[in-house]
Amino acid sequence: MSIIDGKALSEIIKLEIREEVLSLKEQRKNIPHLAAVLVGNNPASESYVKSKVRSCEQVGFESTLIRKDDSITEEELLDIIKDLNEEDDVDGFIVQLPLPKHIDETKVTLAIDPKKDVDGFHPVNFGRMAQGLPCYLPATPFGIMTMLERYEIETEGKHCVVLGRSNIVGSPMSILLSRKGTPGNCTVTLAHSRTKDLAAETLRADILIAAIGIPNFISADMVKDGVVIIDVGINRIDDPSRKRGYRLVGDVDYESVSPKASFITPVPGGVGPMTVTSLLANTLKASKKEVYL
Ligand code: GUN
């Protein structure tokens, strides 16, 4: 069994991005600038956004964090998005989700200019992805594709089972792996909460991508020997023995499943760090106008 070390790989990719930024600086070209909008004080969102801003600093990007109280109105948030769309100095921006209940997330996503949508959530970017056109890939699927590529994991002709059909992970993942290319050319099953015999599906997987948000859901009896496991879950479970009172576990029961796997991503230190790196890669593309003129 080999561990897919997302943390180590993300450090390598950050170094590559840093090199590019240094070269842009030498050529006196535009330095990539990412802005992040954080509404309210959801602890998980705070920690993700902090990590995004810290990563920008590590690679030499400019970053702007716009923090708003959760009493902000939808109209006020849409005004901030309009300003960011028009601000020439900002190459790309994200609005951290989830948003407070009184704000319509779909409206917010649709308000972001696809050219600056470095999260790849806008339907224009989703549609371009589905058709294999230049686009910003959503960060988590982009990170998973990079892991498969850099670890040279064979995907051609393999049966991939994606668990979870969210717009930002499961659904794009199923499309990317079924597309022509490397990684790609998989036969894909997209399973979800209404799938009848889930274990029958997961047992057929050469590659299993778990993105359902249920701690330790996949047990050893649900996978076959030699499976490649990509665990997208980042679930907090109570742990009084830890100073912070919780620990992070994936959707896969690592202890029982890892001995059967050929490759597996740990939690933490697997998919999570790659997601942030992919956001940086998209922001670099935005500043170089590689996707849209
Ligand atoms: N919430 C959880 N993951 C993400 C992400 O990748 N981007 C944004 N904007 N919000 C999130």
Q: Which protein residue has the closest C-alpha to ligand 1 atom 11?
A: 97
Candidates 91, 117, 119, 231; catalytic one: 119
58 catalytically annotated: no
Most informative mutation of 97, 117, 140 for ligand 1 (most atoms within 8 A of CB): 97
pLDDT attached to residue 36: 98
pLDDT attached to residue 293: 78
Measured in Å, residue 158 CA sits from the centre of ligand 1 at 29
Cα 255 → chain centroid: 24
Domain extents for the chain? 28-113, 139-272
Most informative mutation of 37, 48, 109, 235 for ligand 1 (most atoms within 8 A of CB): 48
CA 66/CA 86 separation, integer angstroms: 16
Residues 28-113, CATH architecture: 3-Layer(aba) Sandwich (3.40)
Q: How far, CA to CA in Å, does 187 sit from each of 46, 155, 158, 245? A: 37, 9, 6, 41
Q: Using a 6 Å cutoff on CB, does residue 118 contact ligand 1?
A: no
pLDDT in tens, 134-191: 999 999 999 999 999 999 999 999 999 999 999 999 999 999 999 999 999 999 999 9
| Nearest ligand 1 atom, CA 275 | 6
Question: Quick check: 27 pLDDT over 90?
Answer: yes
| Residue 21 CB neighbours (<10 A) | 18
52 catalytically annotated: yes
DSSP assignment of 87-127: -TT--EEEE-SPPPTTS-HHHHHHHS-GGGBTT--SHHHHH
Q: Write out the two tokens for 115.
A: 């050219």
Alpha helix ranges (H) inside the chain: 6-26, 43-59, 74-86, 105-111, 123-130, 139-150, 170-178, 198-202, 254-257, 271-287
pLDDT in tens, 182-216: 999 999 999 999 999 999 999 999 999 999 999 99
115 catalytically annotated: no
Q: Write out the two tokens for 198.
A: 């889930």
Q: Using a 6 Å cutoff on CB, does residue 139 contact ligand 1?
A: yes
Q: Using a 6 Å cutoff on CB, does residue 13 contact ligand 1?
A: no
Across the range 86-108, mean pLDDT stands at 98
Query: Helix, strand, or coil here: 224?
Result: coil
Question: Quick check: 59 pLDDT over 90?
Answer: yes
Give me the chain's average pLDDT, please. 97
pLDDT in tens, 236-293: 999 999 999 999 999 999 999 999 999 999 999 999 999 999 999 999 999 999 999 7
Q: Write out the two tokens for 197.
A: 């015999």
Question: Quick check: 51 pLDDT over 90?
Answer: yes
pLDDT attached to residue 265: 98
Taking alpha carbons only, the member of 145, 125, 121 closest to residue 135 is: 125
The pairing of beta strand 227-231 with beta strand 235-238: unpaired
Across the range 62-84, mean pLDDT stands at 98
pLDDT in tens, 111-140: 999 999 999 999 999 999 999 999 999 999
Residues 139-272, CATH architecture: 3-Layer(aba) Sandwich (3.40)
Q: Which protein residue has the closest C-alpha to ligand 1 atom 3?
A: 97
Domains 28-113 and 139-272 share a fold: yes
pLDDT attached to residue 290: 96
Q: Using a 6 Å cutoff on CB, does residue 46 contact ligand 1?
A: no
Whether the Cβ atoms of residue 155 and residue 148 lie closer than 8 Å to each other: yes
Most informative mutation of 77, 168, 169, 277 for ligand 1 (most atoms within 8 A of CB): 168
